[in-house]
Amino acid sequence: MSDFEYTTIEQQIQKLKKQHLIINNEKKAIQALRTYGYYNIINGYRDPYITRTYNEKIYSPDVSFEQIYSLFILDRKLRNAVMFSMTDLEEHLRAVVAEIIGESFGTKHDLYLSKTNYRDRHVRNIKFTRENILKSLTDIAESSYKEPVRYYREKHHIVPPWILLKATDFGTLINYIKIFLRPQRESLVSALYDTDSLQLNMDELKDLLSDTLSMCLEYRNLAAHGGRIYNYVPHSLIRNFNTSTTHGGLGILLKCLRFFSYSIPFSSLNNAIISALSSYCTEYPNDISRIENALGCKLEMHTLAYVNIKTKIFHSDPHCSGSTNLSKVFLDDAIAGNFVPCKRCVTKDYYS
C-alpha cells in the first residue's frame, strides 16, 4: 500500500495497532482523528515515541494514542498562547512607533515617509531596502482602501502614522523599525525597556530589540500557519544570550519578552505555558526531561490543588463530590493560604 493512498479512519486505527501503539479508548481516538486528522496528530507528534527499522515504524512500549494526542493538544495550547502574545506585542509596538514618528516628523505621510528620515542599509533581500520599505508604506497611504486609511486620506488628505501602521503587517512594521535613524531607534529602545535596570549599553539594547523582534516575527508566523511550537528551534539568534549553555526555543523567547516594560506579552505566554505544562506533565511525568529539552528551559514541578474559596478547603480531585466551581492553584499556595485538606479526596501522600 502506498504511504499516500487514502485510508479510512478505521484503517488508520488498525495501522496504528499493527505498529504496537496502545489505544485505550478507540471511540475517542476515532473522534480525535476525525476532528483534527491523522497527519496533524500522528505525523506531527509521533517522532519521540517511535523507532524506525527497515522503513518500519514501531511505537515504544507503553506509548498510547492518548499520550500522542495529549502532546498535540499541549502544542495547540502553546500555539494559541504564542499567537495571543505576539498579537498583543504587535499592537503595543505599533502605538509606540507611531508616537515616535509623529513626534519626530509630524503627521503628514509624504513628510514622515521621506527617505531622508531613514537610514539605508545593506540587505540580502531587495524587498527590505529603505527604498522598497518606504514605497510599500507610501502605497498603503496613497492607494489602500482599508479603513481607516481610506477615510483619513479622503477626508483629511493625510494619513497619520498611527493610522498607517494599523494597515501594515508585523513583518513590515519590524523592517520599518530597522531603517530608523539613531535618534528614533534610541527613543524606541527607551520606550520599550527600563534601560536603567538592564546592565546593557545602548548599542547592546538596540541589538537585543532587533534580535527579539526577529524572533517574535518568526514565532508569530509559525503560529499563524499551524506550525509545531513546543520543540521549535528558531533561526533567529539573540546575540547577548548566544552561549554554549543556551539555545533557542520558547524559553529564550520568554526571557526576551520579560525584558520589555510592557509585561502582558510575557505574563500571558508564561501563564499559558505553565497551565498547559502542568496538565501534561502531571499525566505523563516520564516526558518531563524531553519537554525541558524541547522548550530550552528547566521545569519546576508543583503539585496542583483545587480550592473552594467559601469553605477554605482544598481538593486533589477538581470534581470532588460533584464540585464544578473549584479554583486551580499550586498546593503550596493553598497550604500557605490556610486552606485545609478535603477529608474525602486528599490523602497524606498528596501533600506531605
pLDDT digit string, tens, across residues 18-59: 999 999 999 999 999 999 999 999 999 998 898 887 778 899
Distance CA 242, CA 338 (A): 44
- pTM score, two decimals? 0.83
pLDDT digit string, tens, across residues 160-171: 999 999 999 999
Cis amide leading into 148 (omega within 30): yes
Residue 16, C-beta contacts closer than 8 angstroms, at least 6 positions apart: 23, 42, 59, 65
| Exposure letters 135-171 (e unless 16+ CB within 10 A, then b) | eebbebbeeeeeeebeebbeeeebbbbbbbbbbbebe
pLDDT digit string, tens, across residues 147-188: 999 999 999 999 999 999 999 999 999 999 999 999 999 999
Helix H or strand E encompassing 340: strand 340-341
Cα angle 221-267-260, degrees, rounded to a multiple of 5? 75
C-alpha cell at 216: 517574535
Per the CB < 8 A criterion, the answer to whether 23 and 17 are in contact is yes
